[in-house]
Amino acid sequence: MLADLSIWHILILIAVITLMFGSKRIPEMGASIGKGIQAFKRGLQDAGNAIEEPPPPPPQQKSVSNSGAPKRLSE
């Protein structure tokens, strides 16, 4: 379907879009679309990095070596 577009079709589409939005608004729309694409790519990259990084190891607890008897302060 898109293969049937000729140069005349493209020029007519550009003319209609220019008439609808005006020549000032088109660059603003392009810039906002570009920013949206950059934010989307950055989000995908951040999500990929979060998946690739292994989770941090759990904190190790100190082992208690006494047998449950209370320690003596003086002997």
DSSP string over the chain: -GGG--HHHHHHHHHHHHHHH-TTHHHHHHHHHHHHHHHHHHHHHHHHHHHHSPPPPPPPPPPP-S-SPPPPS--
Distance CA 22, CA 27 (A): 10
Q: What is the pLDDT of residue 56?
A: 75
Q: Please report the pLDDT score of residue 34 as a whole number.
A: 95
Report residue 53 as tokens.
Answer: 């990084």
Rounded to two decimals, the pTM is 0.46
How much is the pLDDT for 15?
A: 92
Pick out the chain residues at pLDDT < 70.
Answer: 1-2, 53, 55, 62-70, 75
Confidence at residue 69, expressed as pLDDT on a 0 to 100 scale: 67
